[in-house]
Amino acid sequence: MGLLAAGTPLTWYDSRRYNEHVKTEGTEQLLQVMKAAANRDHDPLYWGDEVEYMLMEIDDTNCNTMLDVIDDKIITDLNTDDYQLCKDNNVEIHPEYGRFMVEATPGGPYHGLTNGHFVESNMVERRKIIDWKLNQYARRLSKGKRLSVLTMTSFPRLGASGKFLNIENQWDHKNSASRSLFLPDETINRHVRFPTLTANIRVRRGEKVCINLPMYKDKFTPEYDTSIHDREWFTPEDLESKLASKKGHVYLDAMGFGMGSACLQMTFQAPNIEKSRFLYDSLVNFAPIMLAVSAAAPAFKGWLVDQDVRWNVISGGVDCRTPFERSTEPILPKYNKNGLGGVSEEEQSKLQRIPKSRYSCVDLFLGGKNKHFNRTYNDTEVPINDKVLNRLLENDIFPFDYDLAKHFAHLFIRDPIAIYEESINQDNMTSTNHFENIQSTNWQTLRFKVPNQKAIPSNKSAPGWRIEFRPLDVQITDFENAAYANFIFLISEAILTLGENLNPYLKMSQVWENMHKAHSMDAIVKEKFYWKDSFTTETSSTSLLSINEIFHNNESGIFATFINPILMYRGLVNKEWQELQVSPNYQRLYYYLKVISDRASGKTVSVARFIRNFIISHPDYKQDSQVSELINYDLSLMFERLTNLDNANDEITALFGHSTAEYLTTTKLNK
Ligand code: ADP
Ligand code: MG
Ligand code: MG
Ligand code: MG
Ligand code: MG
Ligand code: MG
């Protein structure tokens, strides 16, 4: 997917009459896909990553860094005029939610470990191309201003008072899509899909979305979020904020705070559907653990917060559930009758209570024929769409087994939030449009990616069964992003190689708890997470372990159980990953593993802690948890230096430790 399809997405009130249609037809499309692709086998371990970038305008005269919402044509340009350049460099450019965002992936997937640094080379290439194009646009700027592309998970001043976008007069007109007190609609991708998603989520819910993040408490931190102000543009939305915000919390009220943050994702193809289910189940508990180890988001809306990651911000930012579904009272009962939001009258009696947002941790293990799975591991409350479940189980196209049917029947409790007028009628034998409408707006920590009807066993040109790993905050440097990507790749390859010699299962309720813990400040060194006592016995018993133990213990640690065995199996080491340090071809892989090992052991700090330390030790910081324009500007300059592996201020050393810094600054990446 490069450019978005043209078309007219319907507003909530026009689209909701088609909700049932989309679900019914989407279910039929899924059945056709299963019929075509269920028997695929021996697909290679293709994989790829996705990196999300932020475009920024840096004003060196006034010492302010703003998000660039002018140059989003970069996505069109790199997919048209400069398409060949991208193609020649195996780069693909995608749109994202934020108008200031770009997503980039390899043009074609990688196969296996490649030479250990191919992924990073590709990431470097992507950034170079984006940077090259931005430099062309930058010619319009007056002296002292420039454009920059950075991988920052959350832009600390998105939505803060003052100037955080590179446009004038952003508040001289209304922001009717989000109705946020803080984010103008110019933060949203211009393609009509995105403002429509934003508005439809709000209208279905019957209220603005609402995220209260605990404030980081410092000496002069105020008791309340002082940025909430009165306004009389929208009723009832403008009346909600004071009631919805909580003491001691930073209050966010728009999808853009979440979808406007950046992440790193990886997709892996398994040989067949059984193995992809097993890979999925095995990665379930890696998601919260790796989220904690990737933590890179300590500040939102101009405030330091008492948490380190973006996840719950997006989760809340796209939470379309009505108050009834969330089992809470509406903020303003007068405007949100019985807490039923924008749900149509006919549908109201069918509503169920739904414990989690459509953007959340995985809900169900997929099970399958592997000998370790049993249903008691799925021990949380997970509502399902009974109609979809029954159809998947009983039909003459492709009868599902219960556990896989339940997974999809759960996804199908969600309504479509953007239906295109032109796409209402689809041919279920060839299209997966309705199915993907529901599937791709269920944003979980993992996605079980389904092929299409063309993916019959003999057609190897169509992608097969894939698992997407989605929890990670994006890292500052290509080096780190490549490190995390390769790390998850090795774990996935280990899982596929060891197969049922591994028993990955624990209780889903413990995974949910881990997800919660992964948010806390300095979780890497302060929290304990549920982790299996053994992956090689039938036990499902877990213990609460520190991240250091989870990575480094001998019995069930990630290095001992997954990384060392797969490196030995590949013949790259005799016993331990540390041997790679002297490997002629895989030395860089050693540093990838080391960067993660060092963070997990607490030898070096997380990106979130690194940013937090930068902010609280900045001369302009007033111990009030606020991130000023000057601090934000200096932070972005530091990001630039790190991105360029410039160690003039010893920042590479501070982030990675001496030996990695020495390696990074003296070793050129071979392509
Ligand atoms: P989405 O946004 O839906 O996750 P993208 O196209 O942005 O999809 O990213 C998909 C990722 O999967 C890319 O990194 C791409 O290289 C990779 N990929 C493409 N084909 C395959 C395949 N057959 N198996 C595994 N990964 C693949
Ligand atoms: Mg993508
Ligand atoms: Mg996205
Ligand atoms: Mg993306
Ligand atoms: Mg993705
Ligand atoms: Mg996507």
pLDDT tens digits, one per residue of 373-421: 999 999 999 999 999 999 999 999 999 999 999 999 999 999 999 999 9
Tell me if 50 CB under 6 Å of ligand 1. yes
How far is ligand 6, taken at its centre, from the CA of residue 193, in Å?
Answer: 13
Q: How far is the CA of 50 from the centre of ligand 5 (A)?
A: 6
* Ligand 1 atom nearest to CA at 43: 23
- How far apart are the CA of 175 and the centre of ligand 1, in A? 34
The C-alpha atoms of residue 26 and residue 298 are separated, in whole angstroms, by 39
Using CA atoms, how far residue 422 sits from 9, 425, 436, in Å, is 8, 8, 16
Structure tokens that stand for 116 in this block: 């250990």
Ligand 1 neighbourhood includes 98 CB (under 6 angstroms):
no
Q: Which two tokens stand for residue 124?
A: 């470097």
Ligand 1 near 122 CB (within 6 A): no
pLDDT at 1: 45
If you search the block for the tokens 């982790």, which residue do you land on? 531
The CA 307 to ligand 4 mean position distance, Å, reads 22
539 contact partners, CB below 8 Å, separation of at least 6? 503, 532, 533
Q: Which atom of ligand 1 is nearest to the CA of 49?
A: 14
The per-residue pLDDT for 670 is 63
- Is the preceding omega at residue 323 within 30 degrees of 0, hence cis? no
Residue of minimum CA distance from atom 2 in ligand 1: 50
- Please name which ligand lies nearest the alpha carbon of 102: 4
Q: Which atom of ligand 1 is nearest to the CA of 94?
A: 7
Please state, in angstroms and rounded to a whole number, the distance separating the CA atoms of residues 25 and 33.
Answer: 12
Query: Under 8 Å CB-to-CB from 425, ≥6 apart: which residues?
Result: none
Nearest CA to ligand 1 atom 26: 47
Q: How far apart are CA 317 and CA 304, in angstroms?
A: 19
Strands annotated E in 346-487: 359-360, 443-444, 446-449, 466-469
Q: Which ligand is nearest to the CA of 49?
A: 1
Residues of the chain with pLDDT under 50: 1
Whether ligand 1 lies within 6 angstroms of the CB of 112 is answered as no
> For residue 463, which atom of ligand 1 is closest to its CA?
23
Predicted local distance difference test score (pLDDT) of residue 494:
98
Q: Are 463 and 484 in contact (CB under 8 A)?
A: no
- 97 C-alpha to center of ligand 4: Å? 8
Task: Write out 354-422 in H/E/C secondary structure.
Answer: CCCCCEECCCCCCCCCCCCCCHHHCCCCCCCCHHHHHHHHCCCCCCCCHHHHHHHHHHCCCCCCCCEHH
341 Cα distance to chain centroid = 27
Does the beta carbon of 95 lie inside 6 Å of ligand 1?
no
CA-proximal residue: ligand 1, atom 7 (nearest): 50
118, two tokens: 């191919």
> N- to C-terminal Cα distance for the chain?
26
Describe the chain by its helix, strand, coil percentages, rounded to 5.
Answer: 40, 15, 45
C-alpha of residue 321 to centroid of ligand 5, in Å? 23
Q: How many CA atoms lie within 13 A of 119 on its CB side?
A: 32
46 lines ligand 1 (CB under 6 A): yes
- Among protein residues, the one with the nearest Cα to ligand 1's atom 6 is 1
* Segment 532-541, tens digit of pLDDT: 999 999 888 9
